[in-house]
Amino acid sequence: VAAPPHNPRTRRAPTEAEVLDAALALLDAGGPEAATIRRIAAAVDAAPSVVYTYFPEQAAVHRALVERLLAEVAEGAAADVSDHRAGGAPHWPHVVEVLALRLRERLLAHPGAVALVLGDDLSGPSARALGRRLCELMADAGLGADARRGSFLITTYVLGAIALSADAEQFRWGLRRVLGGIGTRN
């Protein structure tokens, strides 16, 4: 019942989301070097050049994948932080810990994407939103001028630990020490 695959008139052009879905599936199945433009195109049953309909170069596909992965984390973060501000207010280190664990979990679900995130300049909307949330938390914690540095330190630690494949226990231990170090007056 499928349409004849070689007639352009019956073949619907793939969506940007379909292209990204295919890229992520290839990334999960075969790591970063499997998520080739040509294979992405083949996965959506199209010519290689269709990818260029949405992305000017391969790096743009990578950026879009990073954005997609960080978007969920950023949304969750927004909710957590406003909960924190409104309600009973657990200690800020706990909120950061939840955030960090969520980010790690999200990335470990797509190990092939780790290299992409590490290579990213984190200038996308979701990366910026995450950084902003962290900054707010640090500022609320009374770090003042050091809030920016503190949030950068946390980001550094979380991504470094993921790059070095820290296990869950090591990750928690290090995170707590980092948070302790930030909280201590120098």
Binding site for a second copy (CB under 8 A): 115, 118-119, 122, 146, 149-150, 152-153, 155-161, 163-164, 166, 170, 173-174, 176-182, 184, 186
Selection from a second copy, DNA, none that 28 binds (CB < 5 to 8 A by kind) is none
The answer to whether the CB of 65 falls within 8 A of the CB of 116 is yes
Kindly tell me which residue out of 48, 119, 125, 180 binds DNA, with binding defined by CB under 7 A: 48
Cβ pair 141, 94 in contact under 8 A? no
Burial class (CB in 10 A: 0-12, 13-18, 19+), 92: buried
Binding residue (CB under 7 A) for DNA from 27, 43, 46, 114: 46
According to the binding rule CB under 7 A, does residue 11 interact with DNA? yes
Which CB atom, from 40 or from 96, has the smaller least distance to DNA?
40
What residue ranges in 39-181 does DSSP mark as E strands? Answer: none
Which of the choices DNA, a second copy, none does residue 155 contact, using the CB cut-off of 5 to 8 A by kind?
a second copy
Contact status: 36 vs DNA (CB under 7 A):
yes
177 binds, among a second copy, DNA, none (CB under 5 to 8 A by kind): a second copy
82/170 with CB nearer a second copy:
170
163 touches DNA by CB under 7 A: no
What residues contact 182, with CB distance under 8 A and at least 6 apart? Answer: 138, 143, 146, 150, 153, 154
Are 13 and 23 in contact by the 8 Å Cβ rule? The answer is: no
**Assigned token pair, 59:** 């790096």
